[in-house]
A and B are shown apart, each in its own frame.
Chain A
Amino acid sequence: MNHRAIRAIYLFEMARTWRTLLQSIVSPVVSTSLYFVVFGAAIGSRISQVEGVSYGTFIVPGLIMLSVLTQSIANASFGIYFPKFTGTIYEILSAPISYFEIVLGYVGAAATKSIILGLIILATAGLFVPLHIQHPVWMLTFLVLTAVTFSLFGFIIGIWADGFEKLQMIPMLVVTPLTFLGGSFYSIDMLPPTWRTVALLNPVVYLISGFRWSFYEIADVSVSVSIGMTVAFLVVCLVVIWWIFRTGYRLKN
């Protein structure tokens, strides 16, 4: 194992975060705070409690997930796409480093960033609404699992994308709608039965449900199903990445 190479990639990627602190950390925190103001305070004050929890408190896990998902994808996809775009990928490919180590460096850094971000948003939320976390260990498990899984997904998008447009396409057209429709701002039990069935096809529902359960023991689906779905998606991403490196897809001729 080339530990120094993993460390070099990891620190290089983390350095990019500190260099673009405003864009990486401050902007998601600001936009999340806005969600609290709009949904929590303005609209939330007109909504009665959801399953025994005030609306402002109810949306906290969903909002964290929303940011963690989008930031994991954005960080990891940009992290690997940028060297492809500038051509500096030649150095990674010619270094004595295995594919696993490359993924560990890039995905590790992307996941770290979104975990930090998730915790910052959690702390920010604490300023707006009272928070109580029933299962902190499970909360962290869901946070880490989601950050890693979606960083892997982002890594795949970064490899696949051959232009900035494509880099934005999946997050904007697929992930954001799925997150909004995944119960960030509502319980899917609030939906009519038909839409509830449709919503169950959305993988994000399981993530948010599991994460929310770790806070308030309120869940749309059972926790084991949530974990199962997240792990399943993680495995799918790992298989795709294994295939990418085996075939050299969009990396090697």
Chain B
Amino acid sequence: MSSIISVANLSKTYGSGFKALKNVNLDIKRGEIFALLGPNGAGKTTLISIICGIANPSEGRVLVGGEDIQTSYRKARSLIGLVPQELHTDAFESVWATVSFSRGLFGKPKNPAHIEKVLKDLSLWDKKDNKIITLSGGMKRRVMIAKALSHEPQILFLDEPTAGVDVELRKGMWEVVRTLQQSGVTIILTTHYIEEAEEMADRIGVINKGEIVLIEDKTTLMQKLGKKRLTLHLQGKLAALPESLKDYELELCDAGTTLVYDYDTKGERTGITSLLGDLRTAGIRFNDLDTTQSSLEDIFVDLVRTS
């Protein structure tokens, strides 16, 4: 798949001296759903703002559809639809007027049939004459998506699309995103809901403190999710691991009172039976045991902590 967005050595330093992005390199493939994960203040919105033309880069280059966002901004921007995080709307405009305005702003000729389709797809058709101020938060969010889709973009940025949106609406939003992808739109969404990335994305990128710390196919990441962890709470304190247990790559934690064993549930053998046997032989007794599954969230938290 070819890249539709190519970010090379992108850095952003704000006037205050704060480095929001540090040498970011990122390629978004045409037609994919890319989820950009990161804690608050990681640089997600800054990255999107630069690609969309709302903020200026300090260094580096961004190509959108092969067009430079600075020297060929008209072509680059016309490919993009942006749904920002905050609900910025013209409160006193009607839904129809504000969505039509967006289409005009992007230089597209009037096309009421397209606007009608967008509004119907987003279940906004019966609200088309309502003033935006009278709509609920979820509807306003959909109006913003409708605005972004009004000019038939090839790329859609969704910055925290489901922040503050109830579960039902969130699932509806995911449905909309999937349909869009089927129609050929490339989607980049930022989120801090891991669940959302798991549910939606083809690829996942993690950004922290302005740096991309991971980009991986979701399926590869999900394989890592197959890992489980066995934690044994020992009866006594263990000063060191006996030689006979070296092969298990055990971890001795909590001042020698806990043993941790990671195993692959999808592997042929988990090694649990032999481990328990060898523990008994070594005379190591335990009070309790539990197993946990590492989630994308653990991977994410781990990455964010160590980066």
Which residues on A are within 8 Å of B, measured CB to CB? 2-5, 7-9, 11-12, 15, 19, 86-88, 90-98, 248, 252-253
A95 to B14, CA, bound (A): 23
Of the listed stretches B104-112, B237-245, B281-289, name the one at the interface; the rest are far from the partner chain: B104-112
Which residues on B are within 8 Å of A, measured CB to CB? 14-15, 49, 52-56, 73-78, 80, 82, 84, 86, 88-92, 97, 101-109, 147
A86 to B87, CA, bound (A): 9
Q: With A87-B86, A93-B53, A252-B56 known to touch, is A4 a contact of B104 (CB < 8 Å)?
A: yes
For B50, the closest partner residue in chain A by CB is A253
When distances are taken between beta carbons in the complex, the residues of chain B under 8 Å from A91 are 82, 88, 102, 105, 147
Q: Judge whether B56 and A253 touch: CB under 8 Å.
A: yes
Q: Judge whether A94 and B14 touch: CB under 8 Å.
A: no
Residue from A8, A11, A98 with most neighbouring chain B CB atoms (10 Å) = A8
When distances are taken between beta carbons in the complex, the residues of chain B under 8 Å from A4 are 104-105, 107-109
Q: Judge whether A94 and B91 touch: CB under 8 Å.
A: no
- Pairs A–B under 8 Å by Cβ, sample size 8: A4-B108, A87-B86, A93-B53, A94-B52, A94-B77, A95-B77, A252-B55, A253-B56
For B88, the closest partner residue in chain A by CB is A87
A196 to B250, CA, bound (A): 94
When distances are taken between beta carbons in the complex, the residues of chain A under 8 Å from B75 are 96
For A20, the closest partner residue in chain B by CB is B92
Q: Judge whether B107 and A2 touch: CB under 8 Å.
A: yes
For A10, the closest partner residue in chain B by CB is B104
Q: Judge whether A97 and B105 touch: CB under 8 Å.
A: yes
A24 to B105, CA, bound (A): 25
Q: Judge whether B107 and A5 touch: CB under 8 Å.
A: yes
Q: Judge whether A19 and B55 touch: CB under 8 Å.
A: no
A2 to B77, CA, bound (A): 12
When distances are taken between beta carbons in the complex, the residues of chain A under 8 Å from B73 are 96
A86 to B132, CA, bound (A): 13
A2 to B106, CA, bound (A): 8
Q: Judge whether B107 and A88 touch: CB under 8 Å.
A: no
Q: With A2-B74, A253-B14 known to touch, is A92 a contact of B84 (CB < 8 Å)?
A: no
Residue from B74, B106, B109 with most neighbouring chain A CB atoms (10 Å) = B106
A252 to B70, CA, bound (A): 14
Residue from A87, A94, A98 with most neighbouring chain B CB atoms (10 Å) = A94
A101 CB, nearest partner CB in chain B, Å: 10
A245 CB, nearest partner CB in chain B, Å: 11
Q: With A96-B77, A248-B56, A253-B55 known to touch, is A90 a contact of B104 (CB < 8 Å)?
A: no
* Contact among B80, B88, B104 for A7, CB-based, below 8 A: B104
For B144, the closest partner residue in chain A by CB is A91
